[in-house]
Amino acid sequence: MKLSRAALLLSTLAFIVALIWVAVTAGDQVPAHFDGSGQVDRMDSKLSFLLTMGGIGFAIIGLFASIGWWFPKVPGSMVNLPSRTMHEYWTAAENRPELNRKMAEDLEWIGAATALLFAWITGVAGATTGDSVGVWVLAVPTALYLLAVLGYVVFVVKGGRYRVSKN
């Protein structure tokens, strides 16, 4: 199993554990939204919270997890790459399987980070008993997520991962 796929599976498991933990331990009302200062500005029933977080989370995770299945079906003309040279190289029949593999791997890593952020937010909502949380509890993990994804995208784009082979 690829490391990226294992990371996605483990982070999805963390999200599932967070949902189960909220289902078992949270009260009847769960904070469903926090404002920028950490104040709870909307409460939902536990069931509504779990269905919403689970539904959105699994839909997004499913999109990341299934790219290896659906991306190869996307016509080459619909694949957007930074230059015409890259597009011609990566969408050529002999190189397309490698593009499909790399895209799936890259999006699995981003999906793993996304599932961990969902798990964290679910856990924070389930653990919140007052009317607010410290702003760092949500801001720091979100900022770290954004920096990690941005860093990975820069690595992919500028690091030569999709560089055209000279051979």
DSSP, residue by residue, 135-162? HHHHHHHHHHHHHHHHHHHHHHHHTTTT
In this prediction, residues 142-151 reach a mean pLDDT of: 97
* CA separation for the pair 42, 36 (Å, rounded): 13
In this prediction, residues 124-129 reach a mean pLDDT of: 92
Rg, C-alpha atoms of the chain: 19
* CA separation for the pair 17, 122 (Å, rounded): 10
More confident residue, 130 or 103: 103
pLDDT-derived band at 167, boundaries 50, 70, 90: low
Tens-digit pLDDT profile for residues 13-42: 999 999 999 999 999 999 999 988 889 999
Q: What angle do CA 146, 147, 148 make, to 5 degrees?
A: 90
* CA separation for the pair 46, 140 (Å, rounded): 25
Query: What pLDDT score does 82 carry?
Result: 83
* CA separation for the pair 65, 93 (Å, rounded): 24
First CA to last CA distance, the chain = 29
* CA separation for the pair 49, 65 (Å, rounded): 23
* CA separation for the pair 19, 30 (Å, rounded): 12
